[in-house]
């Protein structure tokens, strides 16, 4: 009887029952993997490591003559932005208490003794851990001159990106005023300030040549207008000195039609910078966007550049080396 009944079931019904039974007993459907090529900020396919985070780097001259209350409000405005993760300050020397109070807002800071305190560096605690900090003297102070100037420094702070473990090195500096001829933009003034700025930019170039960490970024008020500097390329100014070593957000993302970062005293200049080491650009980081921020009390406007931080490239396959002789120790380099 069962055999005759089975033979009596129409073939179409058998197929339908089979499909229904398979649907009831099958597990969940596999997720659909959409294999889309990753693109860079410029729209090109990027075949490098994946992006692990977007980090916002700011260069900001806080203007040392501001009242403390207004300097604090500028710092609050800046650190309230969710896209700000690292700040390279200039003229921060009177505002150590501002940096201390930023701890309650989730930002830690590296300060330095003496005049180097003006080029402090702050970072979002949830994103970075500090690794090391150094200061480098660019030149001594000069008081007996038409335009007195203080000691100038470059500070170097190494941070560890908490999510990826990548090391991000920040070079921060402030160059002398009265070094660019405003009547002939892109060309130097004949001042003591300019003579010492040449030394400053030469030493800054040497620091950019050092490969410390996985990614090197730079911040600074360089007191040279980007557009004229790129056009003239005077040998003593940043465009020439840092050529082949550091790429600014102005270069990578464009500067025409952008807001100026310094508009005081009737000037309209882009003298504040965020850089990425050329050796790291495209492999360890990519510029995504930049913005000149407004609404603060300082005579400078902060420049914010957002970078795509990339994962470490896979390590190359290398043959295993024999274990070292335990009786042999490596001597320190001289």
Structural domain includes residue 76: yes
Computed from CA positions of residues 139, 143, 144, 149, in that sequence, does the dihedral angle turn out positive or negative? positive
Give me the domain span that covers residue 270.
51-310
The domain total for the chain is 1
**Model's pTM, two decimal places?**
0.81
pLDDT tens per residue across all 334 residues of the chain: 433 333 344 444 444 444 444 443 444 333 322 223 333 333 333 456 799 999 999 999 999 999 999 999 999 999 999 999 999 999 999 999 999 999 999 999 999 999 999 999 999 999 999 999 999 999 999 998 899 999 999 999 999 999 999 999 999 999 999 999 999 999 999 999 999 999 999 999 999 999 999 999 999 999 999 999 999 999 999 999 999 999 999 999 999 889 999 999 889 999 999 999 999 999 999 999 999 999 999 999 999 999 999 998 777 766 666 655 544 333 443 3
136 CB-side CA count, 13 A:
19
CA atoms within 13 A on the CB side of 1: 0
Domain annotation covers residue 289: yes
In a domain, 172, yes or no: yes
Look up residue 214 and give its DSSP letter.
S
In a domain, 330, yes or no: no
- Whole-angstrom distance, CA of residue 278 vs CA of residue 127: 24
Query: Each residue of 204-228: b (16+ CB within 10 Å) or e?
Result: bbebbeeebbbbbbbbbbbbbbbbb
Whether the Cβ atoms of residue 61 and residue 221 lie closer than 8 Å to each other: yes
Q: Which residue has the tokens 């960490």?
A: 213
Nearest to 215 by CA among 132, 279, 289: 279
Q: Is residue 181 part of a domain?
A: yes
Measure the CA–CA gap between 62 and 143, rounded to whole angstroms. 23
> Residue 331 domain-assigned?
no
The C-alpha atoms of residue 135 and residue 261 are separated, in whole angstroms, by 26
CATH number at residue 230: 3.60.10.10
Q: Distance between CA atoms of 162 and 129, rounded to whole angstroms?
A: 7
Q: Please say whether the beta carbons of 188 and 225 come within 8 A.
A: no
């Amino acid at each position: 009887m069962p055999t005759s009944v089975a033979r009596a079931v129409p073939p179409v019904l058998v197929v339908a029952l089979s499909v229904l039974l398979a649907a009831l007993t099958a597990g969940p459907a596999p997720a659909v993997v959409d294999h889309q090529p990753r693109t860079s900020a410029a729209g090109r396919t990027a075949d490098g490591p994946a992006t692990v985070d977007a980090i916002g780097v700011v260069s900001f001259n806080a203007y040392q003559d501001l009242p403390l209350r207004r300097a604090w409000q500028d710092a609050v405005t800046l650190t309230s932005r969710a896209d700000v993760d690292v700040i390279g300050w200039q003229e921060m020397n009177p505002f150590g208490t501002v940096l201390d109070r930023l701890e309650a807002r989730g930002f830690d800071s590296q300060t330095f003794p003496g005049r180097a305190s003006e080029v402090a560096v702050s970072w979002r605690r949830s994103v970075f851990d500090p690794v090391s900090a150094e200061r480098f003297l660019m030149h001594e102070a000069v008081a007996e001159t038409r335009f007195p100037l203080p000691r100038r420094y470059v500070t170097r702070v190494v941070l560890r990106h908490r999510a990826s473990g990548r090391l991000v090195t920040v070079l921060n500096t402030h160059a002398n005023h009265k070094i660019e001829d405003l009547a002939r933009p892109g060309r130097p003034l004949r001042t003591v300030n300019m003579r010492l700025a040449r030394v400053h930019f030469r030493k800054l170039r040497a620091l950019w040549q050092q490969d410390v960490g996985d990614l090197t970024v730079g911040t600074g008020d360089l007191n040279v207008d980007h557009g004229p500097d790129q056009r003239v390329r005077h040998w003593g100014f940043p465009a020439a000195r840092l050529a082949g070593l550091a790429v600014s957000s102005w270069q990578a993302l464009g500067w025409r039609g952008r807001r100026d970062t310094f508009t005081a005293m009737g000037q309209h200049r882009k003298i504040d910078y965020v850089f990425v080491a050329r050796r790291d650009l495209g492999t360890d980081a990519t510029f995504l966007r930049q913005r000149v921020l407004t609404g603060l009390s300082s005579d400078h406007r902060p420049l914010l550049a957002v970078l795509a931080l990339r994962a470490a490239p896979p390590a190359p396959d290398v043959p295993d080396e024999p274990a070292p002789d335990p009786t042999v120790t490596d001597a320190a380099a001289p």
